[in-house]
Amino acid sequence: MISASLQLLLAILYANLGEWLMHKFILHRLGKQPGSIWAYHWYEHHAICAKHHMLDPGYRRLDLSTWNAQTKELAVLAAIVMVHLPILGYWPTFVMGLYGSLTLYYILHRKAHLDPDWAKRHLPWHYQHHTQPDSGNWCVTWPGFDYLLGTRNQ
């Protein structure tokens, strides 16, 4: 059995790599294809943020009866939770660490798009992702894999 501390470390790294992969290859590559299930990210979220210089008013009020960029984001996070549920009994600290990372991602991402000045100070990599064209900076919560994979641009 892998120790709890190692499971937690692996979960944090796995979550950060997941942010990087999902953002770069799914949300931006597939998301730029009109008609793609992922197009909401580029044509809704990024378009709104470009218009409002990082601000995304859709985060002000969560309306689960509306299918928009914010509810789609939550649906993806819920799917990630469900996919990892079967290993909870085997690697409980890993799964709980992942769930904590997903929660932190959502809290920070939402805060960043409701308060761009806060994002500029506390998540400059994500702020730059939205305000500098083709900046890379695929990670949201912390830029670990952006540094490791050479996509942290300032």
Domain ranges of the chain: 4-148
Q: pLDDT tens, 96-113?
A: 999 999 999 999 999 999
Can you give the pLDDT at residue 154? 83
pTM of this structure = 0.94
Chain mean pLDDT for the chain: 95
pLDDT value at residue 142: 98
Tokens 């991602």, located at residue: 105
Residue 135 has pLDDT above 90, yes or no: no
Q: How many CB atoms lie within 10 A of CB 125?
A: 22
Closest Cα to residue 28, out of 110, 101, 134?
A: 134
Smallest Cα–Cα separation from 136: which of 116, 148, 118, 150? Answer: 150
Residue 112, token pair as written in the block = 């960043």
